[in-house]
Structure 1
Amino acid sequence: MDVTDVDDPYRGWGTTALVAGALTGDEGAWNEIVRRHVPAVLAQIRQFRLAPEHAEDVAQTVWLNLLENLDRLRDPAALPGWISTTARHECIRMTNRNKRSVPVDPQTGSLDVGVHQDLDEGMDQVERYRALREGLAQLPDHQRELLLMLATDPPLSYQEISARLGIPIGSIGPTRGRGLARLRQTPAIKNYLAANAHAAFGEGGDSVLALD
């Protein structure tokens, strides 16, 4: 048996078990989810050639979105696809946000079809990003700081979070749950989900994260 598997039993867990563990506040399960899927996020970031500060922003948003929506995952096996798609959307959002000019058809003066599609996707991501930021701003400081720390890449350990926030390790899971519940009830998130449910949970009708 690989010594790594002995030292870290989570390496042998399947996706379903990891998701179930993370939902109960298991730090090791969450860390393993992030560890396994960091390469998929980095692959999208490299494809879009984002600057380091923008890459960090994208990664943080991906993990925060996953943290917020993990309990709505219908099929844990679809998790890798959701993470990759979300990372791609965030990269598009970041790329479009930093564009200074947009190609225009010189014959008609209108945007190309492909550009329309990219801008539509980019606007969806801008709206989601804004809603998330506004929602987080409405949380108590201790809940907002905890959620952001849990979404860092690489993830902080519960020991590090406990030391930084000055809270017991045992209170991190319950505080996370209350924070996410409160986040979903903020006007910014409720309004966004009501108007853009399809954009928040993937492409097309086969959404892997579903609204209640």
Structure 2
Amino acid sequence: MGGGRGSPHDVIAQLMASAMAGDQRAWNKLVERFSSLLWSICRSYGLAPADAADAFQLTWLRLLEHLETIQEPARLAGWLATTCRRECMAILRRGRRVLLSSDDALFDRASGAAPGPDRATLVNDRDAELWLAFGRLSERCQRLLRVLVLEAEDGAPSYDMAAAVLEMPKGSLGPTRGRCLEQLRKYLDDGGISASGT
């Protein structure tokens, strides 16, 4: 496995090759290297802890299934991020289907048992509008905001990791993030949801 010499991409390529050969230590190092990125993506979708854990585990399962087909180790972070987002969206879609298929009587019965059920409905509606507005952003803005803004939950986002994942110069991340947030704000205002109303 070597002593960690070489560029980060060389190290990732070596870890991938070793993992494909059945080296559990190499697989563990890949998981350790990219786990914070995947957890930040799972958190950005607002999933319940159990659902976030499912999306996280499914992402690693997908990598295990496709490890031999990834030709460019330098793109592994992007592949994992995209796969994780797809797993999160699949979980959200399954949840929405259940919600949309429920009849109104269930909500009426629940309103007598729980305090302020309309609050939860309003928050869900607001969140749905937010994600609709988010979906109108360019793919570049969506990726950047997920990696930078939504990862900042644990503190300052990692600009080094973001630059690598997004394949952008580190110095352009902040200004681009500002423009993307401004565009999102405009979409929210157009939809009647302002920053002050959230």
TM-score computed with the length of structure 1 as normaliser: 0.43
**Higher helix residue share:** 2
TM-score computed with the length of structure 2 as normaliser: 0.45
